[in-house]
Structure 1
Amino acid sequence: MDLLNDQIIQLEADMQEISSFLEKSERQRVQNALKLEQKKIEKEIAFKRQQKEQEAKRKADPSSGSKTYTVKINNYGWDQSEKFVKIYITLKGVHAIAPENVEVTFTERSLVVLVKELDGKNHQMILNNLLHPIDVQNSLKKTKTDMVLVMCKKKMNKKWDCLTQVEKQTKENDKPSPNPDDNADPSDGLMSMLKKMYTDGDDDMKRTINKAWSESQEKKAKGEGDMGMF
């Protein structure tokens, strides 16, 4: 509670100073920059005051704290550098909550992100079975405007194709399996088809195939063609 009060007081002092600068500023570009910063601080103050009200309600009615529930974080992206895998988690207003409410727990093959009491909810993301091991001691998190940045230090400076072993397995399962007939002799397929036609066909079909077979043998004997038959 005291922390929120201090933060609100500091933000209000910033607002007063910006207002003072605006009154003295004569250049439009400078005025625009100051107004943007002013709007940003106004939003932060409103958010802090809302938090203060929620905290006061929880203090007045302790049972209300049990209503906080945890939701799964689904909105995130990732990329990588030579040394880090970077996970970007978008959470509106996360920069305005107490820093200790943003927790990231690392193990060599997993990480858990827990953001507590943001908009009346806890937000959690669990990544198990990371593709490669990470350096726990040198992995870290940073809180930015509306975002949590998780930086997993690679143990090996190699490229990650995905985040987890499960994703890798899924990609491999989605690959089309090789056709066992790709390397087969094309004539084998033709012969199989003709054999089936002969076996299943009526007398006329059999006579036609026998005639074609006889003619192919005559051509083969003359060196005009090369066709196998059953």
Structure 2
Amino acid sequence: MSVVESLQADLAELERLLRQSERMAVRDVLEREMGLVRERLAQEMAASAAASDIANDAEAAQSVPMEVADDGDAVVWEAVNKLAWDQGGKNVTVYLSGLDGLDEVSEEQIEAKFRRDEVDVRVLGLAGGQRHVRLRFTPAEEITPSKCAVKRKAGGKMRIVLRKSETKHWVSLKAKSSGLGSLKPGKADAGEDPSAAIMNMMRKMYDEGDDTMKQAIGKAWTEARAKQGAGPAVE
């Protein structure tokens, strides 16, 4: 089972427990944990999308027709085979590597065209003029072309900095159908005690959680047991 599938299963289990829970304090803890799982799931899906972008780039490169350069020679564009990306605040940064010989090409051999809905970066003449690399895609969200840039780094590396038109989280680099999808709640095991399942889940969350999570669960547990006339049970 992949990390994404595992997180989806965890989320489905939490949703099932939330539906079975009747105590407000317990529901608050479960909803808080669901938020953390959703955030982690979004991050993992973004990382997975970035990895799939590499394969998509390779596939797209095979379908890119040969283009004619100014000197009349046909140019066969090669896919970028090493790509990663991240984001922070207003920018999305794309990291390219494996561009051997990038240090030796001139600025004129690096072409970058940015539109609100398109990124097109080309590097001509790598490896002594034998390689011509191109990365072209529609970003997941609109960008501000005038504030985008390409930065060449040592060791055959390049950074493409994209300025977001709106400061919001991107779940993928390229425009595509994305999101958490439809998560189907899991089925309860036959004969399983819902209350026991909730308590086991809360104890697991307590044991594996950080100080903030432990404090929240401890408080919820204490309040729940106080209503039952019992003392604290989480230590």
Q: TM-score, normalised by structure 2?
A: 0.44
Query: In proportion to residue count, which structure has more helix?
Result: 1
Greater relative CO (CA pairs within 8 A, separation 6+)? 2
Q: TM-score, normalised by structure 1?
A: 0.44
